[in-house]
Chains A and B, each alone.
Chain A
Amino acid sequence: MTEFFGIPAPVLFGQLLLGLINGAFYAILSLGLAVIFGLLNIINFTHGAQYMMGAFTAWMLLNWLGLGYWWALLLAPLLVGASGILIERLLLKRLAGLDHLYGLLLTFGLALVIQGLYRDAFGSTGLPYAIPAELRGGQNLGFMFLPNYRAWVVVVSLAVCLATWLVIEKTRLGSYLRAATENPTLVQAMGVDVPKMVTLTYGFGVALAAFAGVLAAPIYQVSPLMGADLIIVVFAVVVIGGMGSILGSIVTGFGLGVIEGLTKVFWPEASSTVIFVIMAIVLLLRPAGLFGRAG
């Protein structure tokens, strides 16, 4: 059997794949956070709860309405995104111009409330969600076994991240978004309805989180706290990539997932802390993050 540094190839590649999967979730979630932070100047602590809501919406659609995975992939982001729009209109809007701290406290409190409500309704043990029939099974690549669903998650996450990046960097809508991130007042004085753009942007970031939640449902258990653990790591990813940097959050998300996976192979004890160690080092050497603009 082929070995690398004394590690059997299937183990190494297996962990690498796990790392990529985690990285995919880090990337989508930190991308949403970056877009929201850029325009709203709010660190959206509700993001993990909204990811969880995406997974639960998929579960409810299936078990209550008989709508399967593919419907969930479309409907859950729309529904959870709409709830985000309500939150922005009713609550976040009132914080415009105030210190970051208020947005952080509000969204953190909201996350606790939402998670509490779900725990009350569904209990804290996880609920199963089956892999859709089309994506069961896997491929034997010779050096490892590749489950189809996991390959799908990595590919579709990459596609969503790249599409988002392209829209932001290459389209007219994206130029409004970038400009409004720098100077919303001036963009609004040019005739762009910036308040509406802010609301829709929050809705979009939340929809991305819900989309990740649907992708996660068949891999992890659907449970009220599934986002609470993940989001802490995602915040570290955002800090490492540079708050508000779009490309930074995508690259850092996937990269750190892989680093975490490899750490599991070579130094298992460190795998749960490696991202935080990297965060500390990056903060010391480049406080604005790897891709952040200083100042």
Chain B
Amino acid sequence: MAGPPILEVDELHAWYGESHVLHGMRFHVREGEVVTLLGRNGAGKSTTIKAVMGVVPKRSGSIRIRGVETIALPPHRIARLGIAWCPEERGIFASLSVLENLLLPPVVAEGGLSRAAVLSLFPNLAERLSSQGTKLSGGEQQMLAIARILRTGARLLLLDEPTEGLAPVIVQQIGRTIRKLKAEGFTILLVEQNFRFAARLADRHYIVEHGRVVDEIAASDIGPGQDRLVAHLAV
């Protein structure tokens, strides 16, 4: 059921100054898939996502988005290929209202959700539109961070630990949202610490260790694969 690969990462290296963090990441995501990057803290998952968006200080290798090589493109050109990022720290702007935060990302392609559709996915936000962005609770900020990238027409979403530090009801709501987005044909690369959460959503999992992909587990393999996962993720 998955389409052609729309994100292909090969031999990706990334550095923060002198520190070499990614050592040849290789993975791909097909159209319509939900794929996770799993791994311990500091393994390089967030850096991988930032490297795909072009916002690490230095990177090399190959990152192809719908066949377009982006390794030498600046971030705003990458975003305009129809890819959007929801960062781990959420990135809600304090000097913008909730509505301004929601409307901030420019539309990069046709087919984005309307404002009404976005707000019906996240009804809590509708009541808080005039509040300052950072006055929202952690869960509401996370919803806002997801909501604002759904308007842009980007069909490939990079979600970095969307459930981190949130209450179980909110985690469930975000899970339902991701499932709905998948049903609507969005492609999602998801970074998660919460494996139980990820296992119910994803088609495939990549295990990241020390800046490399060390294993790939399909959702259908998850029973037998569970031991491998536990082995990888155990501290």
* Interface set of A (CB-CB < 8 Å, partner B): 172, 175-176, 178-179, 181-183, 185-195
Contact = CB atoms under 8 A, between A and B. Distances in A.
A185 B72 CA distance: 16
A189 B55 contact: yes
B79 interface: yes
Interface string B76-100: 1011100011010001011110001
A186 B76 contact: no
29 contacts: A175-B96, A175-B100, A176-B104, A178-B93, A178-B95, A179-B93, A179-B104, A181-B95, A182-B93, A183-B93, A185-B55, A185-B75, A186-B85, A187-B104, A188-B55, A188-B76, A188-B79, A189-B55, A189-B76, A189-B85, A190-B76, A190-B79, A190-B104, A190-B106, A190-B152, A191-B79, A191-B80, A191-B108, A195-B74
B105 interface: yes
Contacts of B93: 178-179, 182-183
B211 interface: no
Nearest to A174: B100
Contacts of B84: 190
Among A181, A189, A195, max chain B CB count under 10 A is at: A189
Contacts of B80: 191
B136 interface: no
Contacts of A179: 93, 95-96, 104
Nearest to A169: B95
Contacts of A192: 76, 106
Specify the main secondary structure of chain B where it touches its partner: loop
B52 to A, nearest CB: 10
B152 A189 contact: no
Contacts of B104: 175-176, 179, 187, 190
A93 to B, nearest CB: 13
Given A175-B96, A176-B104, A191-B79, 14 more contacts: A175-B100, A181-B95, A182-B93, A182-B95, A183-B91, A189-B53, A189-B76, A189-B78, A190-B104, A191-B108, A191-B152, A193-B76, A194-B76, A195-B74
B160 to A, nearest CB: 12
Does more than half of chain A's interface fall in helix, strand or loop, or is it mixed? Answer: helix
A178 B75 contact: no
A13 to B, nearest CB: 39
B148 to A, nearest CB: 8
A292 B106 CA distance: 29
Nearest to A187: B104
Interface string B104-121: 111010000000000000
B54 interface: yes
A176 B93 CA distance: 10
A198 to B, nearest CB: 12
B197 to A, nearest CB: 24
A247 to B, nearest CB: 12
B95 A188 contact: no
